[in-house]
Structure 1
């Protein structure tokens, strides 16, 4: 497993001989990361109504401790560090057949294999079953994962894994399968926990995961979520008509086995939707607020969120994933025999997973959760389901032009760099036009990709739905806190979101 890397650019006061060297290193790091840090009033204001979950008393106690030690101790300190955490990744055509040896190497004797009814019939699952059998590893298969899982389908899966008591998990499928396996692993380790205990606040209790979970190997069969490398699991909380999830580093898989042969069976519609998720992962993590603008600083490292804000390491992964997606997604969707494009999209999905798994996403994803959860009845073509469905990538991308038009002023240079990745000549573009230029580039990309709804109206939404969509977005605190330019006061924030949804009606 890749070790977490903790970097603290704002090191505490040091009277030793290393101070000058440390200062120079910090200065260099800051220069590399943000020549022009975005000016976001939301994140210089520690009183933001729902973005700061740690109690003031915790911060007060931290301030008292640091004051006694002679450190600077304002009550509402900004973050000063970021952590880099990702699963180990193995990438290559044919590596699926190695998974039996992996479990044997780790001494696993009872493996819970998690998949869905479609993937159960595919070559990937046949190879998995052969590999486990060949190495003499006992396993049971749960194949009832729901695409775009609901809390009810997650609970059904947990009810399967608890009595089986596996010593390892294997997920074979798309993001829905991998996320479900993560939560089976979590609640099998915490059999007495209430389901809402670990769910992200404010919809759940936001309890941190203190224990190490069982080994989980993830074999993605789609090129999209990057879930094989992140500590995030997303599902519909039906009673609240909202998508939410659980996010913690301990949820991330031990190993992601990325085999491009496994994505060749994806229908074109699934390739497109999955790829649009990669696109928005990359764009949102690249434009998220800087990690050192987030408040409050955690009182304990275990409280540092998985989604931390843009940082120098996540930037490298996010921008690379963006460039690859722009280049290879249209080819992948257009030609099922273009193996190079499909392979590069699987790699881009994993790269974007490392990027957003540490930096986080913001408005496209925050707005997408109520879009999916409040679906008026839209059923996206190309998906083998009997019920209405707005695939995750579609629900995310539909607001992207409106979102990046809005966030452009927060950091014009970053938005121009993103536009350049789409092939825009930015040499004569004014900084104040950065958001509009990026929005236009995204629109053109979506239109050329084909078979995409051109706004919320094409999904069946109208003006009468806007207020409910806004109310469904407000609880997405862990991603809204990373959105540049979002206001601090609740009513002002609601008005901004209302305008964003109205702008996203058509493009």
Structure 2
């Protein structure tokens, strides 16, 4: 260890069953006028309505923005921000899955600084603090409640784009596993597998040369000694709880393990970043129209196999966290877990056509910020080998 590390997190993180009921007390310390962002389905949910009642009992004026769409089309954030300006909110509260939390982040940004979402695409483009933001996740996967990232769909570019800035980290995150009890098995699996992929990629990311300015020049600084602690705990919690939560959605202990695991994974990758599995999923998701979590989880064992020569120490540490005998068992165990919860095992099963592999290889290599975060280099030829293995299910194609 070189004892270099960084963690960026909410000012306050509250986790535990029933903790959603603290919302009103938390919110009234931050302001008086709350814009509450959710989607149409959750807006009618009894738990959501109780949150609104709690806010109003604590003296807050509330406006509900329930128009969040899946994958957050960029233009929808502009329309919602324009509609909210006459309310003049002094805080934003996001309630829901990753899309709702990302929408809340974008509204806090646009209401604070104006402009268009594309003005802030990339890293460190947000010029200063945004409105105070409270994040309340109802799924356990993206970790958006603690991360510096908002992901949008840019329909003009036909791809997903990110706004990455520490200014987008919520002021407060309230993580109540009771809110995930009604999450269906398929979504539980996809979200939890996404979280486990976040933790693995953060834990196995490249370690960058340390300079005094590293944490100020980049949002994602690579593997470090502080993010490693959160990543390893996340791997342990998700390994213990994910299949149990998938099998029995009423298992509150398993739900709590998965939610806390997803949050810790968010804390880890929020500074360490993700790597090749996420880079490949961007073009794969664009052509297969499959869920992000399913795509990255499908790819993760194959990427780990490619990285194996460079991550021996990490695999041994993961084995310890997972209760496995040795490092050699880790990748097969992750692959088997994903298969048991319904994640496609190969890119072919995910729906990718074989004649799209060359295009995917080219596009993936172009996402340099993620490819450069991978512990083992990947050029165009290497990427094609990796994709062939992931498509066919033949690990011997990876050298």
Q: SS state of the match for residue 50, structure 2?
A: helix
**RMSD between superposed Cα atoms in Å:** 2.1
2:290: which partner in 1?
390
Match of 2:256 among 343, 357, 367: 343
Q: SS state of the match for residue 36, structure 2?
A: strand
Q: Summarize the alignment of residues 7-86 of structure 1 with structure 2, pairs less than 5 Å apart.
A: 29-30=1-2, 82-86=5-9
Distance 1:105 1:114, change over 3 A: same
Offset at residue 125 of structure 1 (A) = 1.0
Structure 2: gaps spanning 5 or more residues: 394-399
Structure 1: gaps spanning 5 or more residues: 1-28, 34-80, 201-205, 376-388, 488-492
- 1:235-275 Cα offsets, whole Å, 9 max, x none, are 22233332220111110000000111111110111111110
1:22: which partner in 2?
none
For normalisation by structure 1, the TM-score amounts to: 0.73
Distance 1:462 1:286 in 2: 31
- 1:260-307 Cα offsets, whole Å, 9 max, x none, are 1111110111111110011101100000011436xxx586864x2221
Offset at residue 499 of structure 1 (A) = 2.1
Offset at residue 363 of structure 1 (A) = 1.1
- 1:172-230 Cα offsets, whole Å, 9 max, x none, are 00111101111111122121x34322111xxxxx4532311110000000111111111
- 1:27-68 Cα offsets, whole Å, 9 max, x none, are xx52xx6xxxxxxxxxxxxxxxxxxxxxxxxxxxxxxxxxxx
Alignment check: 8 A CA contact 1:96 1:124 kept: no
Given the alignment of the two structures, is residue 279 of structure 1 paired with residue 196 of structure 2, yes or no? Answer: yes
Given the alignment of the two structures, is residue 495 of structure 1 paired with residue 374 of structure 2, yes or no? Answer: no
Distance 1:301 1:288 in 2: 16
Offset at residue 93 of structure 1 (A) = 1.6
Offset at residue 127 of structure 1 (A) = 1.8
* Greater C-alpha Rg: 1
Alignment check: 8 A CA contact 2:112 2:130 kept: yes
2:14: which partner in 1?
90
- 1:332-383 Cα offsets, whole Å, 9 max, x none, are 00012211101111111111111111111111111112222222xxxxxxxx
Q: Summarize the alignment of residues 157-176 of structure 1 with structure 2, pairs less than 5 Å apart.
A: 157-176=80-99
1:105: which partner in 2?
29
Offset at residue 120 of structure 1 (A) = 1.4
Match of 2:335 among 438, 443, 455: 443
Q: SS state of the match for residue 250, structure 1?
A: helix
Given the alignment of the two structures, is residue 199 of structure 1 paired with residue 85 of structure 2, yes or no? Answer: no
1:369: which partner in 2?
282
Q: SS state of the match for residue 229, structure 1?
A: coil
- 1:5-40 Cα offsets, whole Å, 9 max, x none, are xxxxxxxxxxxxxxxxxxxxxxxx52xx6xxxxxxx
Instruction: Identify, as 1 or 2, the structure richer in helix.
Output: 2
Q: SS state of the match for residue 118, structure 1?
A: helix
- 1:86-136 Cα offsets, whole Å, 9 max, x none, are 112011222212212222122x12211100112112233112111111112
Given the alignment of the two structures, is residue 322 of structure 1 paired with residue 235 of structure 2, yes or no? Answer: yes
Alignment check: 8 A CA contact 2:295 2:350 kept: no
Offset at residue 481 of structure 1 (A) = 2.2
Given the alignment of the two structures, is residue 233 of structure 1 paired with residue 150 of structure 2, yes or no? Answer: yes
Distance 1:485 1:332, change over 3 A: same
Given the alignment of the two structures, is residue 418 of structure 1 paired with residue 318 of structure 2, yes or no? Answer: yes
Q: How many residues align?
A: 392
Distance 1:299 1:314, change over 3 A: closer
- 1:146-190 Cα offsets, whole Å, 9 max, x none, are 122232333333333344331100000011110111111112212
- 1:365-403 Cα offsets, whole Å, 9 max, x none, are 11112222222xxxxxxxxxxxxx522210110111110
Offset at residue 331 of structure 1 (A) = 0.4
Alignment check: 8 A CA contact 2:23 2:54 kept: yes
Offset at residue 444 of structure 1 (A) = 1.4
Distance 1:365 1:119 in 2: 28
Distance 2:56 2:50 in 1: 10
Distance 2:100 2:139 in 1: 11
1:265: which partner in 2?
182
Match of 2:359 among 458, 468, 475: 468
Alignment check: 8 A CA contact 2:124 2:219 kept: no
